[in-house]
Amino acid sequence: MINRIWHGWTTPANADAYEDLLNEEIFVRIHDREIRGYRGIQLLRRDIGDEVEFVTIMRFDTLEAVLNFAGEDFEAAVVPPKARSLLTRFDKRSQHYEVRFDSDS
């Protein structure tokens, strides 16, 4: 199992709109692509003063599945224009970790 982790930050005023965009459009489009080996996504959110941080954790069976999602430069962030317009900053590259233990498995 591979986890793809990415961070983005926005203003408190844009945080709900960004979360809605993720849940109602972006995550739906990812799901609808029916990527073989894609196992789902988690969204984390925390308020940190004058910013709101979002973290996405995508789960894939293999690195090949990640490549099917992100392309050959698989570490490059996949951030649609609508999302970019609501973010103040974001990771340009995603991090990938091999899951070595998961108590839910």
Q: Kindly report, residue by residue over 64-95, the tens digit of the pLDDT.
A: 999 999 999 999 999 999 999 999 999 999 99
Reported pTM: 0.93
Could you tell me if residue 84 is inside a domain?
yes
User: Is residue 77 within 8 Å of 90, Cβ to Cβ?
Assistant: yes
User: Is residue 93 within 8 Å of 4, Cβ to Cβ?
Assistant: no
* 45: containing domain: 2-91
Q: Kindly report, residue by residue over 3-52, the tens digit of the pLDDT.
A: 999 999 999 999 999 999 999 999 999 999 999 999 999 999 999 999 99
Q: Which two tokens stand for residue 28?
A: 């739906």
Could you tell me if residue 99 is inside a domain?
no
Q: At 80, which CATH number?
A: 3.30.70.100
Q: Count structural domains, the chain.
A: 1
